């Protein structure tokens, strides 16, 4: 879960059985394990895009089949994603070449465009520096999947209550005041937030607003984005990052990134 409330898939399955499914007793551990084994064999990824067309031709490896065969883990930088490297130098007469080369440029921006990560609780405080050079892949580093390589890591990059948050007028705003002597790493001891995140689970002031870095496959099929749905479209996500981390992306860079994220 975004706020880390379920430590394992087994635990999640048991909670879902008792709450959603309203079971009066839990099945034995072998059945719980079968549910988890089933979940671990599900692979969801975009295999076709209306503009880039088939996502696993001409050397590209989009789609669930390649995802299922892939190796999870931290790739050597700068190649967290390598699905569309082969599309970088397509000749202009190749099918869907304009869109496909844009997807490849977006992948390269995701992997390698440098920026400074600052004021992110869960990263900058642990790294001991508030000027941390990084890329999109720093927090979305799992090879060709994009979730965080540290499964227990939760971060507050300011999606839900900072000066950079996208507007979400229907959501409530909570003012949380920390107990005496306690404060968040970067937001002081009195915090406005739409969602306390991990702090709801741990009860710790330092965890206010922390959620996990999302995995990025199948994005085109599951708008809206961010844990609170505050980004209606992928272009809203890219706009958020452009401002939040002063990326200085050109309109073409932004379009390339959106086209790449739409092809995952």
CB 22 within 8 A of CB 217: no
Q: x/- contact string, 92-111, with ligand HEC (CB under 6 A)?
A: ------------------x-
Q: Does 136 bind ligand HEC (CB under 6 A)?
A: yes
140 binds ligand HEC (CB under 6 A): yes
Q: Which stretch binds ligand HEC (CB under 6 A): 52-60, 71-79, 130-138, 175-183?
A: 130-138
Q: Which of 87, 225, 259, 262 is the binder for ligand HEC (CB under 6 A)?
A: 225
Name residue 190's beta-bridge partners. Answer: 177
Q: Decide: is 60 part of the binding site for ligand HEC (CB under 6 A).
A: no
Q: Is 58 left (phi over 0), alpha (psi -120 to 50) or beta?
A: left
Using rule CB under 6 A, residue 211 touches ligand HEC? yes
Structural element, H or E, at residue 200 = helix 199-202
Buried b (16+ CB within 10 A) or exposed e, 178-195: beeeeebbbbeeebebbb
| Binding status of residue 259 toward ligand HEC by CB under 6 A | no
Q: How far apart are CA 16 and CA 1, in angstroms?
A: 12
Options 96, 120, 198, 263; binder of ligand HEC; rule CB under 6 A: 120
Cβ-based neighbour number of residue 172 at 10 Å: 8
Q: Which residue ranges make up the site for ligand HEC (CB under 6 A)?
A: 2, 110, 117, 120, 123, 134, 136, 138-140, 155, 157, 159-160, 211, 213-214, 216, 219, 225-227, 237, 241, 257, 261
């Amino acid at each position: 879960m975004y706020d880390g409330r379920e430590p394992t898939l087994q635990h999640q399955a048991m909670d879902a059985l008792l709450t959603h499914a309203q079971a009066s007793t839990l099945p034995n551990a072998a059945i719980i394990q079968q549910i988890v084994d089933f979940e671990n064999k599900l692979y969801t990824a975009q295999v076709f895009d209306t503009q880039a067309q088939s996502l696993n031709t001409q050397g590209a490896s989009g789609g669930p089949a390649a995802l299922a065969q892939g190796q999870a883990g931290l790739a050597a930088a700068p190649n967290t994603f390598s699905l569309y490297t082969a599309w970088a130098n397509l000749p202009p007469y190749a099918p869907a070449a304009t869109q496909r080369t844009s997807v490849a440029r977006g992948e390269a921006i995701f992997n390698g465009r440098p920026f400074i990560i600052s004021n992110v609780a869960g990263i900058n405080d642990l790294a001991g520096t508030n000027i941390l050079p990084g890329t999109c892949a720093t927090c979305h580093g799992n090879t060709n999947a994009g979730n965080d390589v540290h499964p227990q890591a939760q971060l507050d990059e300011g999606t839900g209550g900072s000066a950079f948050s996208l507007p979400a007028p229907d959501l409530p705003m909570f003012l949380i005041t920390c107990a005496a002597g306690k404060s968040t790493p970067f937001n002081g001891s009195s915090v406005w937030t739409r969602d306390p995140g991990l702090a709801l689970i741990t009860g710790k002031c330092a965890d206010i607003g922390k959620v996990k870095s999302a995995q990025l496959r199948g994005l085109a099929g599951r708008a809206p984005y961010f844990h609170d749905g505050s980004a209606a479209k992928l272009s809203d996500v890219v706009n958020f990052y452009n401002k939040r981390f002063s990326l200085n992306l050109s309109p073409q860079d932004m379009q390339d990134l959106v086209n790449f994220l739409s092809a995952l």
